[in-house]
Structure 1
Amino acid sequence: MSSPPIEIDASALPPLGMAPEAFLRDYWQKRPLLLRNAFPGFESPIAPEDLAGLACEDGVLARLVAHERAASPQGRDRWLLRTGPFPESLFPTLPDRDWTLLVQDVDKWDADVAALLPAFDFLPRWRVDDIMVSFAAPGGSVGAHVDQYDVFLLQAQGRRRWQIDDGPDPPLHFRPDTELKLLQRFAPTHDWVLGPGDMLYLPPGVPHHGVAEDACLTFSIGMRAPSAAELMGDWVDTMIADADEGLRYRDPDLQPAADPYEIDAAAMARVVEALNLLRMNDPDRLGDWFGRFITLYRAGGEAAAGADPRSRIEVEWDLQQGGALHRHPFTRMAWRRARRSARLYVAGQEHALPARDASRVAAAASIDARLYGALGDDARDLVFALLGQGHYRLLTADAAGADGVDGDD
């Protein structure tokens, strides 16, 4: 059976050029795919100067990567990394080429960038990490590297050349002379130039190298992929915190020791038995742990309670007058069905709610009077409590109009 194509024109059925089921079956975490015209006629919702301004703000995760080319073929090039926030005076001093500005979580700071996310709703939203936006001067790059998560690389402005190594067992040794994890050797099997609206999907572990052909913007829609060590570390911490002190190593079947200094096979079997007492065999406990973990994992910011909370009657009045509760951009939500009641997970918290309400609250970036009124009493109580914790911001109809914010969910 022949392999699916590595390059397609997606314009007939954007953004994937095929049904999501076919993409997930044939490409997801299996092979790369270049999607020409994934977003036909695409125009970047953010300008390079706006991205530079964002990189100057406190609390924004930004990096600047510069490439100093070797002076001779026998010389060694250099890669330099700086982290933000940056002074505004920096950008006019940068050279005309060979540097890249990268800003994480731009979807949390810019609603127009966040508006791209529904195009990826064929994936669980809790799997999506962020939209990183990079601006590169001509020749700008971050070097040949490999990611351990799925990523969609959408060309937003200008042109970028992408090379990938889709061969079996590519070399993955890193250069020792830079703090960036750059590959020592990179032998591309494919070479493409992407223009606005083109998108490259890369599963984990595929070496790739992108170089700006001209001044360009690239959007990286990256996935959350905690390592087994990260999962195990948080899981063990939870197990330790919840452990019953009465659960201990026991040896009621102990026999006289042949050698009192030997840790024998029977002792090791009892160690395994003691550890197994801590196993999370309850699916609901395991699900609650993971829901709390994944809604906090790699969070770039957090909500904080406001200084002057409004009363509930005032909030509900404002909703009736056309206001809306807008979720904090760094507050992640997900939900799960459980045996007795569904669970809503909010930035590491868990809350019992009926499945219908948990689903609606998790999916709503904003809550207006119609949605609020359709929720049950427990869900409305929770929404008000989350407002008090800073997970929502109340915008009255007047304020929403002044800010250009649509109050509909």
Structure 2
Amino acid sequence: MSTSPRRSRHPAPAAAGGGVLGRLIDLSPAEFARDVWARTALYTPRAGDFSDLFSADAVDELVSRRGLRTPFLRVAKDGSTLPDTSFTSSAGVGATIPDQLDDTAVWRAFADGATLVLQALQRTWQPLGDFVAGLSSDLGHPVQANAYVTPPQNRGFDDHYDVHDVFVLQIQGTKRWLIHEPVHPDPLRDEPWTDRRSAVAEAAKGEARIDTVLGPGDTLYLPRGWLHSAQAQGAVSIHLTLGIHTWTRYVLAEQLVQAALAMLRDDPRMRTTLPLGTGEPDEEIDVVRRLLGAAVEGADSAPLFHRARRGQGRPAPLGPLAQFDAVHGLRPDSAVRLRAGLQARLEGRCLRTRVGWLEFPESDLPPVTRLLDGDVRTAQDLGIALVRRLLRAGVLVPAEP
């Protein structure tokens, strides 16, 4: 059995200043960033107790009582995903939408050896919503949470790689993981493992870099591209996969070129029709190359990056009734704060957030700048009219006492 070089038997508590990330590893964030992140797999036994995040009871509630629809559940068996129609149906009077989970069909599939994959749990299970938001903040990359529920001695998927990094958190039962080094390092988002199916299958026959059984409280970090497969052992296995949709330089390059092309749309030299009868456009390509290079030098792609980043996540939940009370009960001493997860950014006189943008007069810019630090403020401190406007926009929320 081969394992990762790091196998601490005494995990450090999260209180050591590691934030949410500190719950998952036995390294400091600085050590993780320097030695592990995007470089190598990391197995951490007994990292902590994750029962506050997810459980078997949570699985049963989500499947049988929440009225979930596809694609919040996938069902997989023997390396293939079952059709949605095999485990969904109408939910009866008042809820006739046909793609809701049918708990009887889900049970029968599970009893027959299928793995249940509960997807995007940060949207449907509040403890994971808060956890994922914290991890995304720690890492600076978007994160989603899936749960894999596998019957004993079964596995849902064959050896494969993901195009995003993952943290695996074992919740219940045990699962044997086989990890192999990449056949295609650092795959981009449009380079799935199915493009290299034969190479993946061949590499999976070799000696594993990590061959270990994860038990409750163990974690595993895999950079994108690392091959893996997992099989439940003698009991039902539940594990969480936290998918980290990493930003890359390639994505930044795409955004930079996009910004440069936007600049060139109004350049008469770029709008000019090519000469009649153009056959070999080498000379024209040289002109375009020079113009495009100059545009790239002067382009500002930061707004595109921040717009894309805002689009990758959602702000913290907003209760409409609590917000109504906050607006209509606003007093000078009312305490408010910036809504979490907004990715708020002040660009000139415009505040851009995940819930839209607002433009302000110069006189409002100092209080708007102050509220961006996330501290609790009073309506009197910021200005009652401004606070009322931002509460109505869903940018500010009442601060908890």
TM-score normalised by structure 1 residue count: 0.68
1:24-75 CA-to-partner distances (Å, cap 9, x unmatched) read 10000011101112114745534220232378423752211122xxxxxxxx
Report the Cα offset of residue 151 of structure 1.
1.0
Percent of residue pairs bearing the same amino acid type: 17
Amino acid at match of 1:346: R
> What is residue 116 of structure 2 aligned with on the other side?
101
Report the Cα offset of residue 222 of structure 1.
1.4
Report the Cα offset of residue 271 of structure 1.
1.4
> What is residue 86 of structure 1 aligned with on the other side?
101
More displaced, 196-205 or 214-223? 214-223
> What is residue 8 of structure 1 aligned with on the other side?
8
Report the Cα offset of residue 115 of structure 1.
3.7
> Out of 208, 225, 247, which is 2:246 matched to?
225
Q: SS at the partner of 2:305? A: helix
1:111 to 2:126 alignment: yes
Asked if the contact 2:391/2:397 (under 8 Å) is kept, the reply is no
Counterparts of residues 4-403 of structure 1 (less than 5 Å): 5-9=5-9, 11-14=11-14, 15=23, 16-40=25-49, 42=51, 44-46=53-55, 47-53=58-64, 56-58=67-69, 61-67=72-78, 79-83=80-84, 85-96=100-111, 98-117=113-132, 120=135, 123-125=138-140, 127-138=141-152, 139-166=154-181, 183-185=200-202, 186-187=204-205, 188-213=208-233, 214-225=235-246, 244-249=265-270, 261=278, 263=280, 265-276=282-293, 278-279=295-296, 281-282=298-299, 285-297=300-312, 310=324, 313-314=327-328, 316=330, 320=334, 332-335=341-344, 344-346=352-354, 349=357, 354-360=368-374, 370-371=376-377, 373=379, 376-377=382-383, 380=387, 383-387=390-394
Closer, same or farther: CA 269–336 of 1 in aligned 2, 3 Å: same
Report the Cα offset of residue 128 of structure 1.
2.9
What is the Cα-based RMSD across aligned positions, in Å? 4.7
Report the Cα offset of residue 193 of structure 1.
0.9
Amino acid at match of 1:145: H
Q: SS at the partner of 1:65? A: strand
Amino acid at match of 1:166: E
More displaced, 151-160 or 57-66? 57-66
Amino acid at match of 1:408: E
Asked if the contact 1:166/1:190 (under 8 Å) is kept, the reply is no
> What is residue 408 of structure 1 aligned with on the other side?
400
Q: SS at the partner of 1:22? A: helix
In the alignment, the residues of structure 2 paired with residue 243 and residue 304 of structure 1 have an alpha-carbon distance, to the nearest angstrom, of 41
Closer, same or farther: CA 384–197 of 1 in aligned 2, 3 Å: same
In the alignment, the residues of structure 1 paired with residue 262 and residue 192 of structure 2 have an alpha-carbon distance, to the nearest angstrom, of 38
Report the Cα offset of residue 212 of structure 1.
1.7
What is the total number of aligned residue pairs between the two structures?
A: 355
In the alignment, the residues of structure 2 paired with residue 82 and residue 242 of structure 1 have an alpha-carbon distance, to the nearest angstrom, of 46
Asked if the contact 1:335/1:344 (under 8 Å) is kept, the reply is yes
Closer, same or farther: CA 158–97 of 1 in aligned 2, 3 Å: farther
Asked if the contact 1:62/1:102 (under 8 Å) is kept, the reply is yes
Amino acid at match of 1:24: A
Consecutive unaligned residues in structure 2, runs of 5 or more: 15-22, 85-98, 186-190
Asked if the contact 2:164/2:224 (under 8 Å) is kept, the reply is yes
In the alignment, the residues of structure 1 paired with residue 59 and residue 248 of structure 2 have an alpha-carbon distance, to the nearest angstrom, of 33
Closer, same or farther: CA 247–110 of 1 in aligned 2, 3 Å: farther
Closer, same or farther: CA 65–348 of 1 in aligned 2, 3 Å: farther
Consecutive unaligned residues in structure 1, runs of 5 or more: 68-77, 252-256, 362-369, 395-406
1:67-104 CA-to-partner distances (Å, cap 9, x unmatched) read 2xxxxxxxxxx624334642223123225353111122
Report the Cα offset of residue 199 of structure 1.
0.5
Q: SS at the partner of 2:54? A: coil
Q: SS at the partner of 1:130? A: strand
Amino acid at match of 2:63: A
In the alignment, the residues of structure 1 paired with residue 200 and residue 329 of structure 2 have an alpha-carbon distance, to the nearest angstrom, of 54
Q: Whose helix proportion is higher, 1 or 2?
A: 2
Report the Cα offset of residue 197 of structure 1.
1.1
In the alignment, the residues of structure 2 paired with residue 239 and residue 98 of structure 1 have an alpha-carbon distance, to the nearest angstrom, of 52
Report the Cα offset of residue 344 of structure 1.
4.5
Amino acid at match of 1:333: L
In the alignment, the residues of structure 1 paired with residue 199 and residue 232 of structure 2 have an alpha-carbon distance, to the nearest angstrom, of 17
Asked if the contact 2:261/2:292 (under 8 Å) is kept, the reply is no
1:344-363 CA-to-partner distances (Å, cap 9, x unmatched) read 432575878655423428xx
In the alignment, the residues of structure 1 paired with residue 51 and residue 172 of structure 2 have an alpha-carbon distance, to the nearest angstrom, of 9
TM-score normalised by structure 2 residue count: 0.69
In the alignment, the residues of structure 1 paired with residue 319 and residue 258 of structure 2 have an alpha-carbon distance, to the nearest angstrom, of 27
Asked if the contact 2:176/2:231 (under 8 Å) is kept, the reply is yes
Asked if the contact 1:247/1:277 (under 8 Å) is kept, the reply is no
